[in-house]
Amino acid sequence: MKVTVFGIGYVGLVQAAILASVGHDVMCVDIDEQKIENLKKGIIPIYEPGLTPLVEETYQNGLLNFTTDAEKGVSHGSIQFIAVGTPPDEDGSADLKYVLAVAETIATYMTDEKIIIDKSTVPVGTADKVSAKIAEVLAAKGQDVAFDVVSNPEFLKEGAAVSDCMKPDRIVVGTENEKSRVAMRELYAPFNRNHDRMIFMDVRSAELTKYAANCMLATKISFMNEMSNLAELLGADIEAVRHGIGSDSRIGYQFIYPGCGYGGSCFPKDVQALVRTANEIDYKPALLEAVESVNYAQKQKLFTHLNNHFKGELAGKTIAIWGLSFKPQTDDMREASSIVLMKALWEAGATVQAYDPEAMEECQRIFGDNDNLALMGTKESALKGADALVVCTEWSQFRAPDFDLIGNSLSTKVIVDGRNLYDPQLLNNRGFAYYAIGRGDSVKKVNA
């Protein structure tokens, strides 16, 4: 099938590449000229396991193409994906300007029938807005061309995006149009062989399904973080509690890791956006508001541990940070806990020596001109002369480090572990002041 994808970011590029890999003829359109030029040269703008060979292979065999020419993009595909960003507006609601700009572009250039697919995460009612925009532009041109707007939200996880798209848990499609149903089945048939993963529903339910999924996951995380705060105050160990509740199959082990708050491009903005949607219809989403405020507070914890340890005297201190991305296996730093920590440290007069396996370039792009940030080439060099180590992201290479080397490199033996990677007993025995999340015991011993 001939497919066009507007917006070649984390979602659009992965979606385009996997569709091309099964034989669809895919044209990628982005307004970022540098990104498109780089892609044509084989330079992939994001780190995502398995993506580079997939893009190289499909570009070389001619099934994946890149352009900034929107007219060319519109004329290419009978299916047009909208996969542009939907960042939070000033009030937290999803900003639809990029989505509606693409709708306008498609309407401006379309001359034959199109199925337009909302792949971006968009509030309930957006497909109606996209339809209205297209109808308005077509009417202004005096053109009568058939089109249908389908909701097809994306559930990929950054860090596992390629495998998630190749073997999706489900493919949610919101449409009441029979022709679109048939086309969507054909489009996704290669990913649907093992068993039927397609779930058809009305457009509004599909739009809400995406928010409900992300809000549910964010709720699990904030719930566990709230439990971790209680554990800390009550002298319990949240890790024992986690095992204790995860073994209940109704609860399960997934998404119940306590930590230093959720980040990324999805959970924070999607929880906020659903809160705004609820407000607009005069509904008070008490649970979602709590999920957000627990997360906000959790992101301050790393700084609080450091500030308490150094008795408010962080000015002039150097803090080593391991992990800058919002989670492992990605270079994405959007809404990362590391950013909250670094800003608080700079505000307090401290400097940062940071290392991340993949997000160094991204950090350089965001904070490169900050004199109080040194981006170090290895995790070991980040430690040298620092007054404390903070682990922000649970990359596997941080899980079993050489604690002798850490102790010898730091000027004071302080570790703040935002992901509960280490054994409190072991670190206390080795003379470290060790602060984790919700492990009352470790905190009690160190402070004793």
Ligand X SMILES: NC(=O)c1ccc[n+]([C@@H]2O[C@H](COP(=O)([O-])OP(=O)(O)OC[C@H]3O[C@@H](n4cnc5c(N)ncnc54)[C@H](O)[C@@H]3O)[C@@H](O)[C@H]2O)c1
User: What is the binding site for ligand X (CB under 6 A)?
Assistant: 6-12, 29-32, 35, 83-86, 98, 101-102, 120-121, 154, 156, 158, 265-266
Shortest distance, CB of residue 29 to ligand X, whole angstroms? 5
Shortest distance, CB of residue 99 to ligand X, whole angstroms? 8
Shortest distance, CB of residue 297 to ligand X, whole angstroms? 24
Which tokens hold the place of 276?
Answer: 């705004």
Task: Please say which residue, 123 or 438, places its beta carbon nearer to ligand X.
Answer: 123
Shortest distance, CB of residue 158 to ligand X, whole angstroms? 4
Shortest distance, CB of residue 114 to ligand X, whole angstroms? 16
Shortest distance, CB of residue 266 to ligand X, whole angstroms? 5
Contact 108, 135 (CB under 8 A): no
Task: Please say which residue, 11 or 218, places its beta carbon nearer to ligand X.
Answer: 11
Active site members: 266
Contact 365, 376 (CB under 8 A): no
Task: Please say which residue, 97 or 284, places its beta carbon nearer to ligand X.
Answer: 97
Other beta carbons within 10 angstroms of residue 48's beta carbon come to 25
Shortest distance, CB of residue 7 to ligand X, whole angstroms? 3
17 residue type, one letter = A
Task: Please say which residue, 98 or 257, places its beta carbon nearer to ligand X.
Answer: 98
Shortest distance, CB of residue 288 to ligand X, whole angstroms? 17
Q: In angstroms, rounded to a whole number, what is the distance separating the alpha carbons of residues 324 and 181?
A: 42
- SS3 annotation, 393-404: CCCHHHCCCCHH
Task: Please say which residue, 155 or 403, places its beta carbon nearer to ligand X.
Answer: 155
Q: Which residue is nearest to ligand X (CB)?
A: 9
